[in-house]
Amino acid sequence: MKTTIKILLLVAIAALGYFVIMSVMTPIQFETERAKREKVVIERLIDLRTAQIEYRDQKGRYTAGLDTLINFLQTGKKRMVLKEGMLTDAQLQAGLTEAKAVRIVRSGNQKEIIANGLQNFRRDTTMTNLLNALYDGKYTVENVAELQYIPFTEQAPFEVELNNSYVNSTGINIPLIEIRAPYMVYLSDINRQETLNLIDLQEKLEKYAGLKVGSVIEPNNFAGNWE
């Protein structure tokens, strides 16, 4: 009987020790994996922000349709200015500006070009592939569609919300946008309870429970909530 009791006590002690260790290790493991995932999610949010800013610059508005944004990236072009040569301090002090230098070079007047020291000065405008211009080869036409999905999910799309009715104190209408990735979507498969604890904490702090860029409440210069 005594032997049996001793064995049961040892088992109980071992089980208790296991649960104590796990109660410490589980949050640590969760935070470690969370940090790894959020680095990737943030990178994708930044890339989406870049695409939305370019879309607004070309179209005059943001888009809530991620499929529309992807099509824009796949088929769009961007006007680029190819620069060769820089104006020296002496040229600037003599009253030469970028705009004036461009006019002189484009005139083709070699005498004036030489007189102003602009033989190696060029400013040529060209249209280039939008994906290359924005991401320098990071995405291709074939894989850029992945940009619309939250990493570490089964192609769960980012949430996009627009507010086109915001008017600032001076009466100017400012389009607002918010792109979101909720914690529950990309963290719950690590540990659901730890994810719920994190969400509860953020809600008590009155913060968004996830990662996002932009705001539909007020202008924030399209900043991320981690910045």
pLDDT of residue 18: 45
* Beta-strand pair 159-163/176-182: antiparallel
Please give the model's pTM, rounded to 2 decimal places. 0.77
Q: What burial class does residue 203 get, using C-beta atoms within 10 Å of its C-beta: 0-12 exposed, 13-18 middle, 19+ buried?
A: exposed
Cα dihedral sign, 74-79-85-87: negative
**Extents of the domains making up the chain:** 29-75+139-215, 78-129
Cα dihedral sign, 52-53-56-59: negative
Helix/strand/coil for 138: coil
Q: What is the CA radius of gyration of the chain?
A: 28
Q: What is the 3-state secondary structure (H, E, C) of 70-86?
A: HHHHHHCEEEEEEEECC
pLDDT per position as a tens digit, 179-208: 999 999 999 999 999 999 999 999 999 999
pLDDT per position as a tens digit, 116-158: 999 888 888 888 899 999 999 899 999 999 999 999 999 999 9
pLDDT per position as a tens digit, 57-106: 999 999 999 999 999 999 999 988 778 888 898 889 888 998 898 899 88
